[in-house]
Amino acid sequence: MKKLLLFALMTGIFLACTLTTPGALPPTAEITPTPTIPVHFETNSAMPTLEVPTVATETPPAGYVNVSVYFTLANDNDITPVPVARVVPDSDNLASVIHSTLKELLKGPTDDEKTQGLISWFSSATAHSATGVMLVSDIDLTVDFTGLNTLIPNASTSAGSQMLLSQLNSTVFQFESVQTVHYTLDGDCAAFWEWLQYDCHSVTRAEWEKG
């Protein structure tokens, strides 16, 4: 009995020393905060009614043309984007009009559009990321980007890449003659698609229309 009491006493002293001795516990790991990203496809919170113009309602000024850019509604389970009206310089060169339209898309939603629940990976940081647009016979489009993979690295998630691609594809395929689009990153198809966790490929209008 005395041996058991002595053993219990020694064990208690040992545990007390272990728990109170400075440095006995492992150091707390430093946690790097994850950047907040504007991706949310479902919410129980009611969002305001979308009141921004989804189609142009006024005649554009001389030398300009009405176009649409596409963003996603944050409270919509469906990531199919909705059109928002923009005005860009008109040109006989369709590639130039498409390039101007993509610049508007890459600026992201306005503050008013954000308030009404429109979201996108694109923002003022990506506004100048479309570095080249080439259109062959008005049907075969190539869009080259730079820096998108570093400016918005989290777009490589499954939901993120779907949202980004749906906005890009909807914006370029509003131009009815365009049948195929090739996306590249600094001239490299593989680099663009690897960033979004896909193999290099072209997007056809038929594929886009199927959803």
The packing angle between helices 158-172 and 94-106, to 10°, is 140
Quote the domain boundaries for residue 115: 64-210
Instruction: Between 67 and 3, name the one with better pLDDT.
Output: 67
Pairwise CA distance, residues 60 & 88, whole Å: 9
Q: Does residue 36 fall inside a structural domain?
A: no
Which pLDDT score, from 0 to 100, does residue 3 have?
A: 41
Q: Does residue 201 fall inside a structural domain?
A: yes
- pLDDT surpasses 80 at 112: yes
- pLDDT surpasses 50 at 17: no
Model confidence pLDDT, tens digit, residues 21-66: 334 334 433 333 333 334 333 333 344 456 776 666 789 999 999 9
Which pLDDT score, from 0 to 100, does residue 9 have?
A: 42
What is the SS3 assignment for 87?
strand
Q: Does residue 98 fall inside a structural domain?
A: yes
Half-sphere exposure of 14 (CA within 13 A, CB side): 6
- pLDDT surpasses 70 at 15: no
Q: Does residue 83 fall inside a structural domain?
A: yes
- What does the pLDDT average to over 176-198? 97
Residues near 160 by beta carbon (within 8 Å), at least 6 away in sequence: 37, 39, 121, 154
Residues near 120 by beta carbon (within 8 Å), at least 6 away in sequence: 38, 71, 72, 105, 108, 109, 163, 167
Q: Does residue 174 fall inside a structural domain?
A: yes
Q: Look over the chain and give the mean of its residue pLDDT values, rounded to a whole number.
A: 81
Q: Does residue 29 fall inside a structural domain?
A: no
Model confidence pLDDT, tens digit, residues 116-170: 999 999 999 999 999 999 999 999 999 999 999 999 998 988 889 999 999 999 9
What total of structural domains would you count in the chain? 1
- pLDDT surpasses 90 at 82: yes
Q: Does residue 11 fall inside a structural domain?
A: no
Decide: 179 and 204 in contact? Cβ < 8 Å. Answer: yes
Q: In which residue are the tokens 């516990």 written?
A: 25
Which pLDDT score, from 0 to 100, does residue 45 have?
A: 39
Decide: 203 and 181 in contact? Cβ < 8 Å. Answer: yes
Residues near 158 by beta carbon (within 8 Å), at least 6 away in sequence: 197
Which pLDDT score, from 0 to 100, does residue 158 have?
A: 86
Decide: 82 and 118 in contact? Cβ < 8 Å. Answer: yes
Q: In which residue are the tokens 């001389």 written?
A: 62
Q: Does residue 108 fall inside a structural domain?
A: yes
pTM of the model: 0.76
Which pLDDT score, from 0 to 100, does residue 53 have?
A: 66
Instruction: Between 210 and 95, name the one with better pLDDT.
Output: 95
- pLDDT surpasses 70 at 2: no
Half-sphere exposure of 146 (CA within 13 A, CB side): 6
Which pLDDT score, from 0 to 100, does residue 13 have?
A: 40
Which pLDDT score, from 0 to 100, does residue 43 have?
A: 35
